[in-house]
Amino acid sequence: MEKIITLDYGSGGKKTSSLIENYIVPAFRNDALAQLGDGAILAGHERLVFSTDSFVVSPYVFPGGDIGKLAVCGTVNDIAVSGGDPKYLSLALIIEEGFPENDLARIIESASKAAENAGVQVVTGDTKVVERGRGDGIYINTSGIGFLAHAGLSPENIREGDTVLVSGNVGDHGAAVMLARNKNLVEGEILSDCADISGLAKALRPLGRDLRVMRDPTRGGVATTLCEFVEDRSAGSTAAQNPENAGAAQRIKNAPCGIELFEKEIPVSPMVAAACDILGLDPLYCANEGKLLAVVAKERAGEALALLRGTPGGENAAVIGTVTKAHPGKVTVQTPYGGSRILTKLAGAQLPRIC
Amino acid sequence: MEKIITLDYGSGGKKTSSLIENYIVPAFRNDALAQLGDGAILAGHERLVFSTDSFVVSPYVFPGGDIGKLAVCGTVNDIAVSGGDPKYLSLALIIEEGFPENDLARIIESASKAAENAGVQVVTGDTKVVERGRGDGIYINTSGIGFLAHAGLSPENIREGDTVLVSGNVGDHGAAVMLARNKNLVEGEILSDCADISGLAKALRPLGRDLRVMRDPTRGGVATTLCEFVEDRSAGSTAAQNPENAGAAQRIKNAPCGIELFEKEIPVSPMVAAACDILGLDPLYCANEGKLLAVVAKERAGEALALLRGTPGGENAAVIGTVTKAHPGKVTVQTPYGGSRILTKLAGAQLPRIC
């Protein structure tokens, strides 16, 4: 049977990783790509940070935002969590024939506002139109350039005893989009958390090297992002196959660790918890589009929490876990009843086209 | 009636311009974007050149190339004609569910080879998967970063008497893709000219300020690109509305000029001419994906021609026209029989999804 691409290749979970590791990284072998960060840090060039993301969210207007705002915030956030100050964006549209001009105007307006609020300029763009039935309204790619302000952030810095923080309630975007697709399932409205988190990322800069790594847990949610933090890349990874790759050598230095989450400390809004119950989703696997996940040195955890809580959008920040050597490479969550379960990277296509 | 987006909004011609001018430029008002070059030049930042392009070509494999090679060359070329040395690319895939993994492997391989040949690194990427019937196999966005090596290139530099050159045969890509869609229409095969033209762009650097502007005439072809060179942007343009925009003021300085082409000097391969005849196309409106269009000072035209012809891919370069004050803002073509016709920007969707 011919192997084909299925929806779960786009879930941000296991299949996406396998596609990237089997096809993309080997084909384009280089240090910047092999880091597999949200943004590539281009050594030696005024410390550039470069990132790209295509947005195919359905529906393209959802409670709390639309694909225009999402496309700007998404790339701004990828640069911010890479330690960069986002500065320039590109904006490329793939529009389906028959798309209402009014919707286009609304989306552009909302992208424009988001860019202004984030202090970034959209400096280049592209527009393509495909026939009816060859798209779904509108898809948007944004790529972004930023300048590195906080160097050295990487999962390879994580060590035993470190503390895991999240900047606020988990799962809002995923739940909002799923409810927008399944109207009348739950009373009331859940808003996407779609927002620029560069302020939150910047707030943690005083931590210096005690800030190990940051990421915005989008597709695959908090669970998948944390799995990526601790997965053992020493076996079979492109980076490790290349002995000249200093990054790979350094990454292995502090491995292997695991992460232990405390379920009762993870902030989830009651509405999102209820919606996830009904939809059969786990908030830990639901996409976030305005949350920051950070690992910091234990001694600075209190300071980090205060810095996040003192920044707009971080009022509900929480310490949610700790780095352990008890189960290297694994993420577990302690339930309030004393039990514990293992979180793996998202398998299957739980939430296709969530962003 | 609700206004909708039609296929001609993606043609690269009049409707594409109107969409950009009505929605995009006003929303994201800034100097870099208002130049509407193939790449944005980011003043003050190590002279960065930034460009983006989405590729939706159908079929995604065509004689002479595929969407992977096209996506790499397309963005490399946009940076090169902006006067930059292309250096880093992003690669973002939107794949339709059911896409054969073998085709993906082939496309990635071909993108990888193109990147290696062009000396650029793919440093960041993204993968999304959409349901069957919401895409068409694969769409690719590449964005690119380069470093400015030849500053000051702009249509605003064009002045009376300047010479127009093209680096080789016109219309190959458009004709190749159209024939791939209409098999058995013509005997033999036309290959797309899909290629990296950064070597050709670099070859013209000794001309300094006597090289006025370069562009790669893709969607809309040579005719549409030349129309963009001479169109009067002083009325109603965003640039002109902003009195602080020095670029706009300078652009108006040398306006208005027109361009006169000599039809018998325009290199078109006999196969492409025959195919265009049958398909009812004009090679001047057919997309090129490996050609350079340049305007140079008359005194340096011979030197420019020699430089192009001495560079791989430029063997068939030709002087095809001259800049005139006789019909400002207009592009005309002199037929071999002494007649003359006016070329306007591509209207309608002559060749949807050509790139």
Three-class DSSP category at B147: strand
pLDDT tens digits for range B164-211 = 999 999 999 999 999 999 877 777 789 999 999 999 999 999 999 999
Check B53 against A126: CB less than 8 A apart.
yes
Task: Give the pLDDT confidence of A23-52 residue by residue, as tens digits.
Answer: 888 989 888 888 888 888 887 666 899 999
Residue A161 reports pLDDT greater than 90: yes
Mean pLDDT of A11-27: 88
- Judging contacts by C-beta atoms under 8 Å, the chain B residues touching residue A95 are 5, 9-10
Note whether A9 contacts B121, CB cutoff 8 Å.
no
Q: How far is A161 from chain B (nearest CA, A)?
A: 31
B350 or B41, higher pLDDT? B41
pLDDT band at A152 (very low <50, low <70, confident <90, very high): very high
CB contact under 8 A, A125 and B101: no
Residue A278, φ and ψ in degrees, nearest 5: -65, -40
Interface probe with A: pick from B29, B87, B129, most Cβ of A within 10 Å: B129
pLDDT digits 0-9 by tens, A290-312:
999 999 999 999 999 999 999 99
Chain centre to alpha carbon of residue B351 = 14
Contacts of B89 (CB under 8 A, 6+ apart): B72, B75, B76, B115, B120, B121, B122, B123, B142, B143, B144, B145
Higher per-residue pLDDT: B5 or B306: B306
Task: Name chain A contacts of B135, Cβ cutoff 8 Å.
Answer: 134-136
Minimum CA–CA partner of B58 in chain A: A130
Cα-based torsion angle of the residue sequence A296, A301, A303, A309 in order, rounded to the nearest 10 degrees: 90
Band the pLDDT of A221: cuts 50, 70, 90: very high
Residue A71 phi/psi, 5-degree rounding, is -65, -35
pLDDT for position B351 = 77
Phi-psi region of A280 (alpha: psi -120 to 50; beta: other; left: phi over 0): left
Rounded Cα gap, residues B133 and A218, in angstroms: 25
Band of pLDDT at residue B240, cut at 50, 70 and 90:
very low
Tell me the C-alpha distance between B42 and B151, whole Å.
11
Main-chain phi, psi angles of A351, to 5 degrees: -135, 75
Among A319-323, B7-11, B61-65, B106-110, the minimum mean pLDDT is found in B7-11
Query: Locate tokens 């030197």: which residue?
Result: B303
The answer to whether B52 faces chain A, any CB pair under 8 Å, is yes
Contact A230, A156 (CB under 8 A): no
CB A94 to CB B40 under 8 A?
no
What pLDDT sits at residue B65?
97
The pLDDT value given to residue B350: 66
Count of CB contacts below 8 A, A vs B? 274
Size (chain B), residues: 355
Mean pLDDT of A52-69: 97
CB A49 within 8 A of CB A146: yes
* Residue B159 exposed, middle or buried by CB count within 10 Å (0-12, 13-18, 19+): middle
Residue with tokens 């999962």, as numbered in its chain: A155
pLDDT of amino acid A255: 57
User: A126 to chain B: nearest residue by CA?
Assistant: B53
Whether residue A50 and residue B139 make contact (CB cut-off 8 A), yes or no, is: no
Given this model, what pLDDT does residue A218 score?
96
**How many whole angstroms separate alpha carbon A145 and alpha carbon A40?**
10
Task: Inform me whether the pLDDT recorded for B140 exceeds 70.
Answer: yes
- Asked if B16 and B10 touch (Cβ cutoff 8 Å), the reply is yes
pLDDT (0 to 100) of residue B242:
32
Q: Which residue in this structure is represented by tokens 């930042």?
A: B45
Dihedral pair phi/psi, residue B185, rounded to 5°: -80, -35
Angle, CA B104 vertex, CA B75 and CA B86 arms, to 5°: 20
Q: What is the pLDDT of residues B15-53, one digit of tens each?
A: 888 888 888 889 898 888 888 888 888 876 668 999 999
Band (pLDDT 50/70/90 cuts) for residue B217 is very high
Using the beta-carbon criterion (under 8 Å), do B3 and A101 form an inter-chain contact?
yes
pLDDT at residue number A253:
55
Query: Could you tell me which chain A residue has the CA closest to the CA of B110?
Result: A27
pLDDT tens string B218-232: 999 999 999 999 986
Give the pLDDT band (50/70/90) at residue B243: very low
Q: Evaluate if residue B101 carries a pLDDT over 50.
A: yes
The pTM assigned to this predicted structure is 0.92
Residues 142-161 of A with CB under 8 A from B: 143, 145, 147
Q: A343, A226 in Cβ contact below 8 A? A: yes
Amino acid of residue A285: Y
* Cβ atoms of residues A149 and A206 within 8 Å: no
Instruction: Indicate the residue of A2, A98, A143 with minimum beta-carbon distance to B102.
Output: A2
Q: Which two tokens stand for residue B123?
A: 């440093």
Contacts of B10 in chain A (CB under 8 A): 95, 127-130
Residue window 64-103, chain A: list those with CB within 8 Å of chain B: 87-88, 90-102
Instruction: Please tell me the predicted confidence (pLDDT) of residue A348.
Output: 75
| B37 vs B107, higher pLDDT | B107
Q: Which of B93, B121, B127 sits opposite A30 (nearest CB)?
A: B121
Packed helices A101-118 and A67-81: angle between N→C axes, nearest 10 degrees: 30
Chain A, nearest residue to B126 by Cα: A53
Q: How far is A122 from chain B (nearest CA, A)?
A: 6
d(CA A285, CA A345): 9
B246, burial (CB in 10 Å: exposed 0-12, middle 13-18, buried 19+): exposed
Give the model confidence (pLDDT) of A259-284 as tens digits: 999 999 999 999 999 999 988 899 99
Per the model's pLDDT, the better-predicted residue between B328 and B44 turns out to be B328
Q: Do A23 and B108 touch (CB under 8 A)?
A: yes
Chain A hits for B112, Cβ within 8 Å:
27-28
Per CB-CB distance under 8 Å, the chain A contacts of B105 are 23
Instruction: For residue B7, list chain A residues with Cβ-Cβ distance below 8 A.
Output: 97, 129, 131
Q: Residue type for A110, please?
A: S
Residue range A152-170: average pLDDT? 96
pLDDT at A184 over 90: no
CB contact (8 A) between residue B121 and residue A28: yes
The C-alpha atoms of residue B26 and residue A83 are separated, in whole angstroms, by: 31
Nearest-by-CA chain A residue for B349: A129
The DSSP H or E segment spanning A40 is strand A40-42
C-alpha closest to that of B218 among B36, B98, B355:
B355
Which residues of chain B have a CB within 8 Å of the CB of A50?
88, 90, 123-124, 145
Across the beta sheet with B121-130, the strand order is B40-42, B48-55, B138-148, B84-96, B121-130
State mean pLDDT over B279-288: 94
ipTM (interface pTM): 0.92
Strands A65-66 and A138-148: unpaired
Residue of B18, B36, B52, B113 for testing the chain A interface, max A β-carbons within 10 Å: B52
Phi, psi (deg, nearest 5) at residue A215: -160, 150
- H or E element: which one contains B16? helix B14-19
Band of pLDDT at residue B252, cut at 50, 70 and 90: very low
Which residue spans within B137-289 are E strands per DSSP?
A: 138-148, 163-166, 211-215, 258-262
The pLDDT of residue A285 is: 95
Angle subtended at Cα B271 by Cα B265 and Cα B277, rounded to the nearest 5 degrees: 80
Give residue A55's pLDDT: 98
Contact criterion met (CB below 8 Å) for B195 and B216: no
Distance from CA of A8 to the nearest CA of B (A): 8
- In chain A, the percentage of residues whose pLDDT exceeds 70 is 92
- Please report, for chain A, how many H helices and E strands are present, in that order: 12, 14
Phi-psi region of B253 (alpha: psi -120 to 50; beta: other; left: phi over 0): alpha
Chain B CB within 8 Å of residue A43 CB: no
**Which pLDDT band, with edges at 50, 70 and 90, does A352 fall under?**
confident
